[in-house]
Chain A
């Protein structure tokens, strides 16, 4: 149900410092997401493809994920051209298509996909544990980092727990349909999952206190900035500046 297939690999991006990757991903996303013209967005898309290639992730999984995130985009393509209005409507059959609406939908499509690829190439190439420690290094509140690390640690456990209950329901011939019985069954399945999670959390808390937990996780490997990381960060900074400048052309 849940997996992170992109974090395994030995490319240059997989080995780069997570702190550097988080900063680069945030900066690139910011400039691409906020640009109003096509040229910087195209440049961003190009950069994202180069990053994807250097992470050696040109594979089916990436493009399947890409199709999945385009659901909202399809929805925008259906609604925006018909409802946006604007001065130069084109008409196709009985529908009046707004030129501005089509332009906006196209711009959003390119932006979203470029940002998706930044995400895959820069963030999904680190494990969540590495990202959590990277964020701690970036002065994100420790409690929030703890929450993220612990959430990641337990979603697999809780999802197995839920699946066990769901399997038991299926064995008892539970067939989901659109009726109150189905919703009540799902509610009880999930409520039972909550009860189990609650009891588990009490046990985990006690076990961790016994082992002297003081609110901090210690990574096995402390990351330091290497020469490669500095060069990569400088390259990314330069790319971001160039994309910003392209917006003024």
Chain B
């Protein structure tokens, strides 16, 4: 879910850039050198996940898992996503430098929201915990595509229809991400709960 370089207007680029700088600054403040290794290696796992394609009907979609990233990393998801998108730009030339701020914000802000609102319900037993994990996966992708649509619509009124299609096209991905996030959280709770408790520790 990237917007390529050359699409957005100067004001949207500047706004997204400023918000990403704020988020990244807070994220880096909260990240001490004691945890930086764990954050870096978990981020590389998320980077690898974004290259995994899961089948959907006749085609396939790639995972985003930004909801899970938010749940595990909290505010640190801002610098982690920024670093990952920068690497994608350098290694695969997806996205670009100037649009990096907007793309980071579109992915990281929904992740952070999910982390704020859903983290506390994750440890609830049974249906409530599973529903919270599902919601984190579903809404992080929904909000990301909404933010992407919003950045297009704010650039030019003519993009509004395109923006609507972006949100609609991402709907199946939201459902799949919800399920995958739910299964991952339930696996981690059983196998290595420290990972989910990283922010608190």
Contact = CB atoms under 8 A, between A and B. Distances in A.
B125 interface: no
B99 interface: yes
Contacts of B179: 180, 183-184, 187
Given A198-B195, A202-B38, A188 B187 contact: yes
Interface residues of A, number: 84
Interface stretch (B78-86, B106-114, B115-123, B138-146): B78-86
Interface of A is mostly: helix
Interface residues of B, number: 73
B176 interface: yes
A16 interface: no
Contact of A162 (B3, B10, B52, B182): B52
Interface of B: 2-7, 9-10, 13, 24-25, 28, 31, 33-34, 36-45, 47-49, 51-52, 54-57, 63, 65, 79-80, 82-84, 86-87, 89-94, 96-99, 156, 158-162, 165, 176, 179-184, 187-188, 191-192, 194-195
Given A198-B195, A200-B41, 6 more contacts: A29-B97, A33-B99, A98-B158, A143-B31, A151-B83, A162-B52
25 contacts: A2-B51, A76-B7, A76-B162, A80-B158, A85-B158, A108-B6, A115-B4, A120-B93, A123-B89, A124-B91, A124-B93, A128-B91, A146-B40, A147-B80, A148-B86, A150-B40, A151-B44, A154-B41, A176-B55, A177-B55, A190-B184, A191-B184, A194-B192, A198-B195, A202-B38
